[in-house]
Amino acid sequence: MVSGEYPPMKGGVSRYTHSLVQALAKKVEVAVATNIAVNNKVAQKGDIDDNFKDGNNTTTIYPLIRKGDKENSDRLLELAFRLKPDIINIQYERGLYEIDTPFHMIQNTLFGTTLDKFYRASPFPTVTTIHTVYPYKEYHKYIRQRAERKAGKLRFLPLPLRAAIRSQIMEQRYRLLLKIVQLSGGIISPARTIHDIVGRGTVIYHGAEPAILTNADYFPLSSMKREEFRKEFGLPAKEMLLLAFGYAGFYKGFDILDNLVLPKDWKLVIKQDRHERGNEHPMQVKNAINLNLGYLDDRILSMLFFACNAIIFPYKLVSISGVMFDALAHGLPFVASELEFFKEFADMGLGIVCKRDAKSFSDAIHYLDENYSQYRRSIEQFGPKLQWRNIADRHIEVYSKNISKRSATLST
């Protein structure tokens, strides 16, 4: 398993990969190559001999990867030839593997990502999980909004030039991604939306499970323990609670939350943090309960989801949302902007999509209030599909097919 993030690093790819590795390790032997920052006790040299066991002492962790380092491929190739794995699964998130220099656009155009050499030179079958790729039209609209915002490194340039540069960066990112898709033996997409963009591979949903449940049915604690969980966070005991959750970021669209008109007995709860690699700060919404709690481990996060009744995503852009999958795993229907990813799951009756303005969101929340039990029933039927043991089984099926395909190719 190759991932640019892994615990104790924070982030969606880190949590996803760790959960997947834990589920796979119960069925097959797994080793993880990841960022050199995962363990301060290990020398930060990217040496494959500097490795350690994870907390359960079942998986060996190799801290080899540096963000944007051209030597990533060489270090991964050295490790692969030593371990001789049956299959390699790369968790591909473009920000982790693009060449990181002041001239990164030129570098990436000439040399590709820091993993291109590995894909070409590795004799072992490789499957790539795509984490961040946006629908083209939605991404193009968003970068125009970003350019108009006058923020970031390009803020001193005139608007037409800012927009042109961001457009070129966008086009380059699609080219890099499609090259990776072409080089990889197999592709896994955590949602149908991503599969439709890259044009090949297998859809395996992002897994999610409540951390506070073990060997139990999916939602038995949500009604029994909700008031107890609410006391932990100082939340009102009886009202319907709508959760807005995530790292601070322009694309999250929290600017419309102040103007929501909620149904009677509904309250808005906000849990927002600054990302450890970001520069945007959380905003305080006036008519809401603002939870300033910092980073939450999986158990506390699970308690917060169970304490709430629904979740809101007023996003301006999304590729996939691990938070949405977590919310569904805890029985929470969503209300979200009318983006392709959210439409995929709204069409299953798991939530509602609407135009990204306060009135449309307010109307959607009122509709959810009137039809809440219907959405809960749909989610209870869907939730078990996200259990990590099932997600691991689907991965092993994909791995086996790609191992067989590679063997057949070599035999001819």
**Model confidence pLDDT, tens digit, residues 313-334:** 999 999 999 999 999 999 999 9
pLDDT in tens, 81-115: 999 999 999 999 877 776 554 445 444 444 467 88
Give the fold, CATH level 3, of 220-386: Rossmann fold (3.40.50)
pLDDT in tens, 104-147: 544 444 446 788 899 999 999 999 999 988 888 888 888 777 76
pTM score of the predicted model: 0.88
Cα(99)–Cα(57) distance, rounded to whole angstroms?
33
Which tokens go with 75?
A: 């270090």
Give the fold, CATH level 3, of 2-207+388-411: Rossmann fold (3.40.50)
Q: Which helix (H) or strand (E) holds 241?
A: strand 240-247
Furthest C-alpha separation in the chain: 68
Comma-separated ranges of CATH 3.40.50.2000 domains in the chain: 2-207+388-411, 220-386
Residue 407 pLDDT level (bands cut at 50, 70, 90): confident
Write the CB contacts of 212 (distance below 8 Å, at least 6 apart in sequence).
221, 299, 302, 303, 306
Cα(91)–Cα(130) distance, rounded to whole angstroms?
7
DSSP3 helix / strand / coil % (the chain, rounded to 5): 45, 15, 40
